[in-house]
Amino acid sequence: MNAKFEDIIDVTKIGTPEAGLDLGRIEMMADNEEKKYAKLDAERVELILIDEQNDFISPHGGLPVPGAVEDTERLCRFIYKFMDQIYRIRYTLDWHSSSHIFFSSAWVYGKDCIGVDGQPHKAGEHVIPNTVITDEGIKAGDFEAALPDKVKSLTYVKNVDKSKQNAGNNTPDELRIWPYHCQANTWGAALEGELNKMITYHSIMRDCNPMYYYKGQDQYSEQYGPMWAEYSPQNKKRLDILNIFEEPQVVRFYWAGQAKSHCSLRGLLQTVEHYANRPEILDKIWVLEDCMSCIPGFEQATEEKMEEMRKMGVHFIKSTDVTDLRATV
């Protein structure tokens, strides 16, 4: 490869509005590289990225994850280093409306109270971020649904509470109100610009387009992991994503994404749950643990879940320790 890493990526711009503005220059550089056609790979290695979006990576984003800028630099270096070994890159995009069940717009206080910020709030005010909505709180009159279909909102909370109890706390949370983030067609919802340049460079040089998947589009449901919603009456699984792990030509899947404690973790848990009786599938999954970070306060619970997955056969490794994508470490 003729281009140096610094010719493609400006690490000082990761997570800034200026990131990726020179994409056209990058495309022309990639056009002039000698093609390493992915279709010729006898044994394929894929890279799965979870929600590598501005709102999570940028310090100016709606829900910034501490450490995500550095994670993104390491991820870009990993892709560059193994450009000719990665067959395809797949990524998910969190994609929400402004009136989503986990935004402040969806709920109001049912009575005067002291909020999670320690400040007084009046009945009828919209709840603030980090408030946790529970079925018990709704029954006590602490919260009221504000979206048009109140029945759907109340049904969702009741079932998420129930599924959390049945799953032994495998779900990331009760219904937590998050700051506005990844609203459809905004800068915050876009793939981080410098990472997008590296993915684009790979797709041109290897003649293999990336695949992307939207998630979180149902305003009456949460969807941390891409495989299925936390609760949905339809109870649908995204087999278009899950089935890729069964492709016989793919010998390994590397996994990274934000946040380690939520969407990336939940996606891994869903995959492990789906393939719990297929150890040969779990053995293909390698998590790049230095290319993801936790939302503060969730570190211990996240590490406990990661350890459970290690015991089931999922591999964890630092991107800087990988020397050959197909080699056994």
User: Looking at residue 164, what is its pLDDT?
Assistant: 57
Residue 86 belongs to domain spanning: 5-96+184-321
User: Do 86 and 108 belong to one domain?
Assistant: no
Residue ending a domain, among 140, 156, 176, is 176
- pLDDT of 327 over the 90 cut: no
User: Looking at residue 157, what is its pLDDT?
Assistant: 95
Q: Is 301 exposed, middle or buried (0-12, 13-18, 19+ CB in 10 A)?
A: middle
User: Looking at residue 163, what is its pLDDT?
Assistant: 61
User: Looking at residue 170, what is its pLDDT?
Assistant: 44
Quickly state the pLDDT bin for 173 (edges 50, 70, 90).
Answer: low
User: Do 170 and 282 belong to one domain?
Assistant: no
Residue ending a domain, among 142, 157, 176, is 176
User: Do 150 and 120 belong to one domain?
Assistant: yes
Q: Which of 112, 111, 163, 113 is nearest to 135 (CA)?
A: 163
- pLDDT of 78 over the 60 cut: yes
User: Do 205 and 267 belong to one domain?
Assistant: yes
Give the integer Cα–Cα distance in Å for 104 and 38: 45
Residue ending a domain, among 176, 208, 229, is 176
Q: Which residue has the higher pLDDT, 174 or 206?
A: 206
Does residue 150 lie within any of the structural domains?
yes
User: Do 205 and 260 belong to one domain?
Assistant: yes
User: Do 161 and 17 belong to one domain?
Assistant: no
Give the integer Cα–Cα distance in Å for 25 and 7: 10
DSSP state of 53: B
Quickly state the pLDDT bin for 166 (edges 50, 70, 90).
Answer: very low
Instruction: Looking at the chain, list the stretches that DSSP marks H as alpha helix, in order from N- to C-terminal side.
Output: 5-8, 23-31, 54-57, 68-81, 135-139, 150-166, 193-205, 239-242, 263-274, 279-282, 299-312
User: Do 86 and 139 belong to one domain?
Assistant: no
User: Do 148 and 289 belong to one domain?
Assistant: no
Q: What is the pTM of this model?
A: 0.94
Give the integer Cα–Cα distance in Å for 51 and 278: 26
pLDDT tens by residue, 115-134: 999 999 999 999 999 999 99
pLDDT tens by residue, 229-244: 998 888 789 999 999 9
User: Do 131 and 201 belong to one domain?
Assistant: no
Does residue 209 lie within any of the structural domains?
yes
User: Do 61 and 156 belong to one domain?
Assistant: no
Please count the structural domains in the chain: 2
User: Do 136 and 240 belong to one domain?
Assistant: no
165-169, 185-189, 237-241, 253-257: least confidently modelled range: 165-169
Does residue 328 lie within any of the structural domains?
no
Mean pLDDT across the chain:
94
Does residue 191 lie within any of the structural domains?
yes
Average pLDDT over residues 302-329: 91
User: Looking at residue 328, what is its pLDDT?
Assistant: 57
Quickly state the pLDDT bin for 30 (edges 50, 70, 90).
Answer: very high
- pLDDT of 172 over the 70 cut: no
User: Looking at residue 111, what is its pLDDT?
Assistant: 97
Does residue 149 lie within any of the structural domains?
yes
